[in-house]
Amino acid sequence: MLIRLSFIFLFSLLFAKNDEWFITNLEYGKMLYNNPRGISCAKCHGSKGQGKIITSFINSKGKKEIIKTYPFKKLTFERLKKALFHQIKIKPIIKRNPESPLKYINIMPKYDYLTDNEIKAILLYLTSKDK
């Protein structure tokens, strides 16, 4: 009897056509943004992908520098994917004087294990917050 019930349960799981059994792309994007199998995107880029101040410091010339992350919301899928895979350098938003020795800083971890569908889900989640 237990074997029959187990078989019926497994059969119903495999062939059920109820979308409520699965998470939506929006929910998946939220989950990935907050916990992408690594450091949370939200920790540095903010809960809405707006970008945040990471640090400020005094450079070797005695000038204050502020490093802020780039807002995710302003990136296209292609540009975000290249940034996640470290295929392009994104200049951090830095409030500084022109003589600063800093050019490009890549402090973001590499997320080259994310699939195209996962990146699209993250963008869907971020753009849905505007509505």
d(CA 67, CA 92): 7
- Other Cβ atoms less than 10 A from the Cβ of 41: the count is 23
d(CA 34, CA 42): 6
Rg (CA), the chain: 21
d(CA 123, CA 40): 15
Question: Would you say 32 and 122 are in contact if contact means Cβ atoms under 8 Å apart?
Answer: yes
Reported pTM: 0.67
Question: Would you say 125 and 26 are in contact if contact means Cβ atoms under 8 Å apart?
Answer: yes
Confidence of residue 80 (pLDDT cuts 50, 70, 90): confident
pLDDT of 98 strictly over 70? no
The pLDDT score that the predictor gives to residue 121 is 94
Confidence of residue 95 (pLDDT cuts 50, 70, 90): low
What pLDDT, in 10s, does the model give residues 53-64?
A: 888 888 888 888
Least confident of 19-28, 31-40, 96-105, 107-116: 96-105
